Each structure stands twice: as C-alpha cells, then as structure tokens.
C-alpha cells in the first residue's frame, strides 16, 4: 500500500508541493467592543426614556426645569462619552453619529446639528488631509520621484526685467517627508 506519487525522503529539504494554499486569516470577534457599544446605547435609551427629572433649584431659590431636549442631550453625552472612552468605534464616526442622533431624536434641528460639520476650518483640514494622502499614495513624497521631478522647471523673468531667467522647480512646492 505505498503511494508512488510521494517522493522517498532524501537528505535535505523535502520537495516543493504542487499547490500552496494559504489559510484565510480568522479574526476573532471582539465581544468587548460589542459589550461597550451596547452599554453606551443602553445608557442613552435609559436616560432618554426615563421619566422627567426633578427641577433643579439654585442657591437663590430659582427653579430650572430640564426640557425633553436637555434630557436627550444628557443621554447623548453618556453615549458619546462611553464610546470615546472605550474606543468602540473610531472617534470620527462617533462624532458623525452625534449629529445623526441629534437629528433622529429631535435634540436639535437637523440643519443646526449638521452645520458644525460645514465650518470652513473643517473643510480646510479635510482638504489638507486628502492632498497629503494623495501625495503619499502616488509616492511623490519619496526621494526618488522627487529627484525625477527636479528636472522640470518653469522659467520666469525676474521682476526687474533682467535677462536672467529665474528657475522655479515644481519639486520645490512638494512637501518634504524624508527629513
């Protein structure tokens, strides 16, 4: 009962198999992440659907009633705080979900809730990240493409109308990441 397709053992390494198949990586399910995600959602719904809280009284005796939106904002604070502390989802996604929850549960009007994402400074930072990712993805930040692009020039005459052209290289405008 010998199989003739298997080579007899010889000195050294065995022969190379005909087909090599890698096992698919099996990532274990992160139960801890699911637990803290559920705790955050549970805290949100517990506070959101709780009966109205008693009115707050300051030292002067003034009474401040907590509105339904105020109670929902406290619930949303507990949800976001839980998710941020335990890093259940990335912080950027949590930030977007805060706006979504504000609109879904009528904590604030949708146009007010999402207007924070439309600030010019947010879009400036977003655009800067996209440009940086593009340079990194295409390899323009590496030294070799930088040397390759250093031969391209734009010739301009000096402001004082001299006959000497000034060389402005494209590579001078690229970010340096190899320092």
Tens-of-pLDDT digits for all 179 residues of the chain?
555 566 555 677 888 888 888 888 888 888 999 999 999 999 999 999 999 999 888 888 899 999 999 999 999 999 999 999 999 998 888 988 999 999 999 999 998 888 878 888 888 888 888 988 887 888 776 666 555 555 444 433 334 444 544 455 555 555 655 55
Q: What is the pLDDT of residue 36?
A: 95
Is 67 within a domain? yes
Token readout for 38 is 């559920």
Question: Considering only CA atoms, which of 91, 95, 101 is closest in space to residue 116?
Answer: 95
DSSP string computed for 48-86: HTSPPPPPEE-TT--EEPPPHHHHHHHHHHHHHHHHHHH
Domain hosting 80: range is: 31-118
Partners of 168 in the beta sheet? 154
Is residue 155 in a domain? no
Number of domains in the chain: 1
Closest by CA to 40, choosing from 97, 1, 113, is: 97
Helix extents (H) in the chain: 31-48, 68-86, 91-104, 110-115, 120-138, 143-149
The secondary structure of residue 21, as a DSSP letter, is -
Phi, psi of 169 (to 5 degrees): -90, 145
Structural domain includes residue 177: no
Does residue 52 form part of some domain? yes
With respect to residue 104, please indicate whether it lies within any of the assigned structural domains: yes
Query: What per-residue confidence (pLDDT) applies to 121?
Result: 86
pLDDT the model gives residue 119: 84
- Answer yes or no: is 61 within a domain: yes
pLDDT at 117: 81
Which pTM was predicted? 0.58
């Amino acid at each position: 009962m010998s199989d003739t397709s298997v080579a007899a053992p010889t000195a050294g390494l065995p022969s190379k198999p005909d087909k090599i198949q890698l096992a698919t990586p099996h990532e274990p399910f992160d139960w801890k992440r699911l637990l803290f995600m559920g705790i955050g959602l549970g805290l949100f719904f517990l506070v959101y659907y709780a009966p109205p809280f008693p009115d707050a009284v300051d030292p002067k005796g003034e009474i401040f009633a907590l509105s339904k939106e105020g109670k929902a904002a406290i619930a949303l604070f507990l949800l976001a705080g839980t998710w941020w502390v335990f890093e259940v989802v990335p912080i950027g996604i949590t930030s977007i979900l805060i706006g979504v929850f504000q609109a879904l549960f009528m904590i604030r009007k949708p146009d007010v809730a999402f207007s924070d994402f439309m600030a010019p400074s947010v879009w400036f930072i977003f655009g800067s990240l996209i440009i940086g990712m593009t340079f990194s993805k295409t390899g323009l930040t590496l030294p070799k493409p930088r040397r390759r692009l250093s031969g391209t020039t734009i010739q301009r005459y000096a402001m004082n109308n001299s006959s000497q052209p000034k060389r402005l290289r494209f590579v001078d405008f690229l970010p340096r990441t190899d320092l």
